[in-house]
Structure formats: structure tokens, C-alpha cells
Structure 1
Amino acid sequence: MNQPWTELHAPPALPELFLRAALKRKVSGRTLPEGGLRCPVSVEARHLAAYRRVCAFADDGRLPPTYPHVMAFALQMRLLTADDFPFPLLGLVHLENRIRVLRPLGGLGPFRVGVRVADLQPHAKGALFSLLISLDDQLGPLWEGESRFLSRAAKLPGEPCEAEPRAALALAEVDRWRAPADIGRAYARVAGDYNPIHLSALSARLFGFPRAIAHGLWLEARSLAALGDRLPDAGYEVQVRFKKPLLLPGELTLLASAPGASGQLALRGADDLPHMDGEWSTLP
């Protein structure tokens, strides 16, 4: 069955959507909406430059592989705060992220971005679902993303699916850097994601964290910027799993396997605390 899409003329304004997210506190159902949202988007050069600075991407003439998440953020906020989306947005936990760069991410647009949700499953701590993002240009599909979220507020019947263990490769240090105390605010200014857990110790404490924590997508973006020479221009996939949250400020060490068509990565903090791991591979 074809996916039903609602077409918008432009990305929605964020202030009203932040208010809707703050007001919804209860689960309102156990099924995901079937429809998705799509709209045209273009890249503003100054915003792209600011994103590159915050995430340490070089200006190589292509969009950073994580940048489409920013392009889709307003649309996904509209989808996740709609009346037919069953879970409160505040409190969702970002567990995994997968991106597929199908063709070189060149140019500033115009593009078309689409977002939808799918694959609702039981989890030992609540309910899992996928947020799916697509980016197209005039020639067709350009980039795809999937984020897996956990809603602790929801419970579903059934047994959770267990992930298959992965054979570990030998990893060596690639880079290390310090995440400053204000990186959550700096990333929020370019990504639009003003979740209180990332902004300050005061706002993070309202959600049980002793200090602000780094955005998971910033951890991924900063890591892929450091791995740029290991990744091709296009035709590859990266999948990461977010582990322990990084309390800000914090020290980070990126480890990776040897360059090749496929490989693994790990992001560690103080005392070897795992913050993220994952793998990359070329597409068939």
C-alpha cells in the first residue's frame, strides 16, 4: 500500500510546536499514524557554515552526512506533536540512528524532505518506534535516515526483539576532543533541538540529570567529521547506538577500525565510559 503523504509548502514554525511538546504528558494510544509529511527545503549557506563549525566538518563542497537531520527537524517536530501521535515527545530516548548516503550530497537545493513513523515494537522498558526521514532532489532519492526511539511512558504486549551480537574488530584511537559545557546550546542553535536536557544543569535536573548532556546527533556528527577520510563520497551506510549520556563538559576519545569498505567505531569518555558505538559499510 502506498504511503499517504501530507504535502506542506514550507517547514512549520517551531515555537508553537515546542509549546505542544511541553503540554503533552500522557500516552494517548498504542498505534502510530500511517501518514507522513513532506515539504520542499533549501540550504542557507550561512546556516550550513555554522553547522560545520559546531560539528567540526570540513567545507568540502558537500553537505555533511548528518545535516539532513537538521533540514528535517521542523517537519519531524510537526509529526511527533500531532494529535494522532500517541506518545509524549518529552521523555523520548534516542537509542539508535542509521543514515544512508545514496548519492553525493552536493548543492544547496532545492530538496524535498519527508518524515514518517513506523515499526512500533515492545521493549523491556517501554515501546520502540522508528522515525524515518528521506531527502530527495530533482533526480530522486538522495539520503535516508532512521532513528529508533524509546517511549518509557508506553507499554506494549509481546516479547522484545533481541539484537544479534556483532563480532568486534580491533579499534585504534582516531581523535580526541573536549565537549565544552555550552555545546548543547551551540548545537541547539544550529539544529533547532532545544530539549531542556541539553541546555543547562538547571533545566537538565528537571529530567533527572545532574548536568546537561550532549545531543546524540552531535556525538554522531562530530565523530563522522573525524572519520571523513574513511567514508566515501556516497554509497554508504552508518549505524550508531547511543550508550551512556555524556555529561557536559566532558572528554571524548574516538576509536575506529582500519580504513576499508566496512568498519566499526566507538566513542568513549572518561574512565573508558561508552557513549556510542557503531559501524559503517558500503551499499550493495
Structure 2
Amino acid sequence: MSRHWHDLHSPASRASLYLRAASKRKISGDRLPGDGLRCLIGVQPGNLAAYRRLCHFADDGRLPATYPHVMAFTLQLQLMTGDDFPFPLLGLVHLHNRIEVLRPLGAVEALRFAVYTENLQPHAKGATFDLVSEAEDGIGLLWRENSRMLVRGLKLESEANQPVEDEPTALPEATRWYADSDIGRRYAKVCGDYNPIHLSAVSARLFGFPTAIAHGMWSKAMALAALGSHLPQSGYAFEVGFHKPVRLPSEVVLSASEAGAKGALRLDGQGGVLHMLGRWDSL
């Protein structure tokens, strides 16, 4: 399809976008917008340093592969709170995330982001769509992200075609960490994702969760940081599917393949709860 782009000098303020998100509580249509947003966004050194500390990334001169997601987050919010976006933001569920690092993420001061949505498909619990974010430097495309989002309660005419997921794999333990009760608030402060389900037990209960849950992208970032020596500097994809949420506080165990061009990982919690299943592969 031919996409119409809106080029922005800067994204709107997060506060105004969250107010827009809070005001929309119902599905208003079943078509994704054909427009996309583009914007040049600079790296904020203080925020980057705080993100590295929060997610345990080493300062090796390269952006963590999940950090462009943080840079693009406000632009994504603006896209999904636009007048032509038909779904309430606060009801969306992040099912799957794939990041592709096409070239090394070193010596980056700013990136030109493009964000758009596509691929609306029926699902057993409603429908899914892909939120796509791409980042370019002066040479060309450098990084790409695809976030699969679930819209609960949306009915499409065609039948749901559920993908067959790989069976959870038995893997050697790589590391484990403790997700404390305030990690949702600390992640929100650094990354801007103030979804109430992550902030406190009180706010999480308003959305049907008995306690606050960890951000999925924090769990993915922690796994990526722990497996940094397993991956090349570029030319790879790192993707995960989010299963049961990590309730706060709790301990989780990361298991993974040995270092190599491709491998698998899983994140488990207490009582055999599978939180996340993923893999990496060369492009």
C-alpha cells in the first residue's frame, strides 16, 4: 500500500499523549491507519546511562539493541493515540517482539525513526496487528522492530489462523535475577512507559491483575544484556514471545543456548511458569 508520512520536528509531550490514551476506552473501527510518523530523535546520554544501569548493559560504545525502542516510544504513543487509530491504547497486549540489528549501533548521536502499523489479523481473543519501528542513520536502515499487539474483543469477519508456537525447550541456566516490587516504576521513569499495570498493585487491579507486573521489554532487555557475549555486534535478529507476566516481586531464571549464530532462550518463574520464550538468528 502507499503510505502517507507525517514528518515531525519532535514528538508530542508524553503527558498530552497519555491524556489522549486515557480518554479513549472503546474500539472505534476495524481498519488500521494508512499514515505513518517520522522524526529525527537524538540520543540523550543521561537517559542512555540510566537505561544501561537499569537493564545491566555494559557501556561498550554501542547502543543496546533494545534502546532504540526507548527512543521511539513517544513516537509510537503518538501514532496509537491519533484520531485515526481505532483501538484504545490501554487495552492493548504486547504478544511478541522482534528486533533486527542490521549494522553496528556504535557512534550513534541521533536516528531518524519511522513508525507505522500493518497486518491486522483475526485472533482467538480478538485481533492482532504489527507496530513497526525503523531507524536510519546517514547511510540507511540500521535497526528495525516489529511488535505484535493484541486487541481484545475486536471481531473480524475472517477466521483466526493461530500460528503454531515452538514447544518450550530445555536449556541450561544462564543466569537469574530478582524483579523487585518497584522495577515497574523505575523502568517507567527511564523509558516513559507508565502503563498502570506496571506501577503498583492498586493500579494493576483496575485492569484485572492481582499485582503489578514487570514490563515485557524490561525482561527482554535483561535477557539481551545477559546474553551479550552470545551474539554478534550486528546482522542478527533477537525475538521473544511474551507468555505469563512476571508478577512483582519475584525471581526469574534465564536459560539459553551456547553462544553461536543462532540459539534459543526462555525465562521461567516460580512453579514452572513460562514467562518468555525466544530465539536469535543471523540475518
Per the normalisation by structure 2, the TM-score is 0.97
Contact 2:38 2:112 survives alignment (8 Å)? yes
Q: Which residue of 2 aligns with 1:266?
A: 266
Separation of aligned partners in 2, 1:20 and 1:46:
28
Q: Which residue of 1 aligns with 2:231?
A: 231
1:62 partnered with 2:62: yes
Q: Which residue of 2 aligns with 1:100?
A: 100
Q: Which residue of 1 aligns with 2:151?
A: 151
Contact 1:94 1:147 survives alignment (8 Å)? yes
Q: Percent identity?
A: 57
Change (3 A) 1:167 1:262: farther
Separation of aligned partners in 2, 1:81 and 1:11:
12
1:86-126 deviation per Cα after TM superposition (whole angstroms, max 9, x unaligned): 10001100000000000001123221011000000000100
1:71 partnered with 2:71: yes
Change (3 A) 1:87 1:195: same
Separation of aligned partners in 1, 2:138 and 2:2:
21
Contact 2:123 2:162 survives alignment (8 Å)? no
Q: Which residue of 2 aligns with 1:250?
A: 250
Separation of aligned partners in 2, 1:205 and 1:163:
30
1:160 partnered with 2:160: yes
Separation of aligned partners in 2, 1:227 and 1:153:
37
Change (3 A) 1:167 1:196: closer
Q: Which residue of 2 aligns with 1:185?
A: 185
How much has 1:168 moved relative to structure 2?
6.2
Q: Which residue of 2 aligns with 1:200?
A: 200
Q: Which residue of 2 aligns with 1:137?
A: 137
3-state secondary structure, aligned to 1:72: helix
1:212-270 deviation per Cα after TM superposition (whole angstroms, max 9, x unaligned): 00000001000100000001100000110000011100101000112211110000011
Q: Which residue of 2 aligns with 1:7?
A: 7
Which blocks of at least 5 consecutive residues in structure 2 are unaligned?
none
3-state secondary structure, aligned to 1:15: helix
Contact 1:131 1:148 survives alignment (8 Å)? yes
Separation of aligned partners in 2, 1:68 and 1:272:
32
Aligned length: 283
1:190-232 deviation per Cα after TM superposition (whole angstroms, max 9, x unaligned): 1100000000011001011111000000010001000000011
Change (3 A) 1:153 1:23: farther
